[in-house]
Amino acid sequence: MKNLFDLTHKVTVITGGGGLLGKAFARGFASYGAQVIIAEIDEEKGIRACEELKKDGYTARFLLLDIADEKSVINGVTQILKEEGRIDVWINNAYPRTKDWGVSFEKIPFNSWQENINKHLNGYCLCCQKVTEIMKEAKKGSIINIASIYGIVAPDFSIYEGTDMTMPAAYAAIKGGVIQFTKYLASYYGNHGVRVNAISPGGIFDSQPQSFVKNYIKKTPLQRMASAEEIVGAAIFLASDASAYVTGHNLVVDGGWSII
């Protein structure tokens, strides 16, 4: 049974692999034997993430990739196939956003709304479109889309009181779309052996203001925010043979936030 979680030699691409959650995914997958590719639009961040893994005895390769640019995605996928011959796991984790991300709903410029939807939701769609066809030909593969609790429940704006933070409106629309899109793809490609699932994390601690953290944990049954590492197990499960009969699922990892 232990071998069910083995990812040895599985070619795993993590978009946004240089970020907080992306780096945790990269480390976790590398520790389970995967051939990790950190796909990043930020070259410096991506290379640094690879170097950090190397210091700890793990190996990862950097791939320059802009998920919202069709040419970049096609070139990136082509390069992976040329070098590795296949793609076993693709994690859509990148989090592109505009500089005015987080302004209140009534002040959002419409072109900003459009750009965020295009970069994030449409970027996930673009990556899936190119990768699922490769997996279809191989008759196997796992795609994991990173969604959010705010794709399934409405935000509680009271937890942001006393801070400059808020819950961006586009984020809710994007992540809700990601969850439903995941189900669509799972149904569309299921008979080809391709599994598509989503993970909806709750709040991940990233040095947020103390007042926010205090308000957040009051609403969470486990009475704390998550660490990035606590989301990794869900991804390893969905990428491995341990979830061989799981597709179209949205795995919620939120400490109980969404149940109350």
Q: Report the alpha-carbon angle 21-12-251, nearest 5.
A: 55
DSSP state of 117: I
The dihedral formed by the CA atoms of 243, 247, 248 and 251, expressed in degrees to the nearest 10: 0
Using CA atoms, how far apart are residues 58 and 231, in angstroms rounded to an integer?
19
Catalytic residue among 95, 171, 189, 216: 171
Output the CA torsion sign for 1, 179, 60, 233. negative
What's CA 192's distance to the chain center, in Å? 23
The answer to whether 184 is a known catalytic residue is: no
DSSP state of 32: T
Using CA atoms, how far apart are residues 221 and 66, in angstroms rounded to an integer?
37
Are the beta carbons of 84 and 61 closer than 8 angstroms? no
Catalytic residues: 171
